[in-house]
């Protein structure tokens, strides 16, 4: 380097230093992600959920059952062996899975931790209130609703503020009926920030394969959506009112469940009512999460021994933002359990 160039270089360096020192702190970090981290997900290891009732032993048993439910609910097992199915690595069966969700990997430097959504306290009313005593669903933290065309136009932001932290939306019946409000409800629920999923009402007069195909054709495969639901019950109000054997019921259900799990990558949830459960599902399909209708007593009384993920505790709910009655539901766990479960299907 020639000596005559040194003053020019020094002058240039001083000029650059002056420019930098005159910049605002905000301009120095512009474009970089904020280091602030809010509401990082914590594994479900807190106290017994407020919904627990009974003696210490009963509460401990219920908490253990909740942890076990959350460990396998929505976990994806080996996909069914369809001809076009990709090769997948087998995962352990639900009984071998850990009882709590694994600790998430720490975020990469410069990335933000997941932000936990707000849990809205329930302010629903009931046109036909039932006293559940010490096992009241109101002692549990995370409430939600299920809707169909019969709820009409919904004010989703108001419904959310009333305590609807999740919603299951009627999508399809049988092999050819689509709820006319489904796509509007799906889009508006998402816009309002509700965790949302879709359910299918099963017709025993149609083949399971064509019903699964019809659901898949109409329900988006959306990251972060809740697992699909198969609604199985006896229905004497439609043209399909036949009651087939228990063996045929289970056979049809398995075909439907397998196809949906293969397509959506999540284990479906089974919704049912007491009479159908008694006739067909007692002691069956133990590897699936259940959503149980029980509007007069706690599910442990109506469905003894059955682990459950959601409880539909009223069919006569009243809420601002909805005209008429609405079904009310609750999640089996506390807020941390809920966030862990939702985060596990956010990919």
Q: Which pLDDT does position 345 carry in this prediction?
A: 81
152 has pLDDT over 90: yes
What is the average per-residue pLDDT within 316-325?
A: 96
pLDDT > 90 in the chain, percent: 63
By DSSP bridging, strand 143-147 and strand 166-173 are: parallel
305: in domain: yes
338: in domain: yes
Torsion angle, CA of 312/314/317/319, rounded to 10 degrees? -30
Q: Which pLDDT does position 236 carry in this prediction?
A: 72
339: in domain: yes
Q: Which pLDDT does position 239 carry in this prediction?
A: 74
pLDDT > 70 in the chain, percent: 66
296 has pLDDT over 90: yes
139 has pLDDT over 90: yes
- Look at 302 and 89; give whichever has higher pLDDT: 302
What is the average per-residue pLDDT within 225-232?
A: 98
Q: Which pLDDT does position 115 carry in this prediction?
A: 72
71 has pLDDT over 60: no
Read off the pTM: 0.72
Yes or no: say if 328 and 314 are a contact pair by the CB < 8 Å rule.
yes
- Helix 246-264 and helix 208-218, axial crossing angle in degrees, nearest 10: 30
- Look at 29 and 223; give whichever has higher pLDDT: 223
131 has pLDDT over 50: yes
pLDDT band of residue 50 (cuts 50, 70, 90) is very low
Tokens matching residue 293: 């209708």
89: in domain: no
Catalytic-labelled residue, pool 68, 210, 233, 284 = 233
Q: Is 233 a catalytic residue?
A: yes
pLDDT band of residue 347 (cuts 50, 70, 90) is low
Q: Which residues make Cβ contacts (< 8 Å) with residue 71, sequence separation at least 6?
A: 94, 97, 98, 99, 100, 101
pLDDT tens-place string over residues 82-100 = 333 343 334 343 443 333 3
What value does the mean pLDDT of the chain take?
Answer: 78
101: in domain: no
Candidate ranges 70-84, 283-297, 332-346; pick with highest mean pLDDT: 283-297
264: in domain: yes
Work out how many domains the chain is built from and give that number.
1
pLDDT band of residue 107 (cuts 50, 70, 90) is very low
Out of 9-18, 209-218, 242-251, which region has the weakest mean confidence (pLDDT)? Answer: 9-18
- Look at 61 and 287; give whichever has higher pLDDT: 287
10: in domain: no
Domain hosting 308: range is: 56-78+112-343
286: in domain: yes
Write the CATH number for 247: 3.20.20.80
182 has pLDDT over 60: yes
Q: Which residues make Cβ contacts (< 8 Å) with residue 92, sequence separation at least 6?
A: none
Q: Which pLDDT does position 70 carry in this prediction?
A: 58
């Amino acid at each position: 380097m020639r000596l005559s160039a040194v003053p020019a270089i020094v002058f240039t360096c001083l000029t650059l230093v002056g420019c930098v020192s005159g910049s605002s702190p905000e301009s120095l970090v512009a474009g970089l992600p904020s280091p602030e981290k809010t509401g990082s997900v914590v594994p479900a290891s807190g106290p017994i959920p407020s919904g627990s009732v009974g003696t210490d032993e009963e509460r401990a048993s219920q908490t253990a059952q909740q942890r076990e439910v959350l460990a396998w609910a929505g976990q994806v097992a080996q996909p069914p062996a369809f001809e076009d199915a990709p090769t997948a690595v087998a995962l352990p069966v639900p009984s071998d899975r850990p009882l709590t969700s694994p600790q998430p990997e720490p975020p990469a430097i410069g990335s933000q931790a997941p932000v936990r959504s707000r849990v809205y306290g329930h302010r629903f009313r009931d046109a036909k209130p039932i006293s559940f005593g010490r096992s009241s669903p109101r002692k549990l933290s995370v409430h939600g609703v299920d809707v169909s065309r019969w709820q009409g136009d919904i004010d989703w932001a108001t419904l959310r503020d009333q305590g609807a932290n999740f919603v299951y939306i009627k999508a399809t019946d049988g092999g050819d009926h689509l709820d006319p409000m489904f796509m509007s409800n799906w889009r508006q629920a998402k816009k309002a920030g509700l965790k949302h999923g879709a359910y299918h009402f099963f017709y025993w007069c149609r083949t399971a394969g064509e019903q699964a195909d019809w659901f898949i054709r109409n329900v988006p495969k959306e990251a972060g959506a809740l697992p699909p639901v198969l609604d199985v019950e006896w229905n004497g109000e439609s043209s399909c009112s036949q009651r087939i054997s228990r063996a045929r019921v289970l056979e049809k259900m398995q075909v439907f469940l397998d196809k949906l799990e293969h397509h959506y990558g999540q284990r479906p949830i089974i919704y049912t009512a007491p009479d159908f459960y008694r006739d067909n599902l007692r002691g069956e399909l133990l590897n699936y999460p259940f959503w149980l209708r029980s509007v007069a007593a706690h599910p442990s009384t109506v469905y003894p021994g059955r682990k459950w993920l959601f409880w539909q505790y009223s069919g006569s709910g009243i809420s601002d933002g909805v005209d008429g009655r609405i079904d009310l539901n609750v999640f089996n766990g506390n807020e941390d359990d809920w966030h862990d479960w939702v985060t596990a299907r956010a990919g």
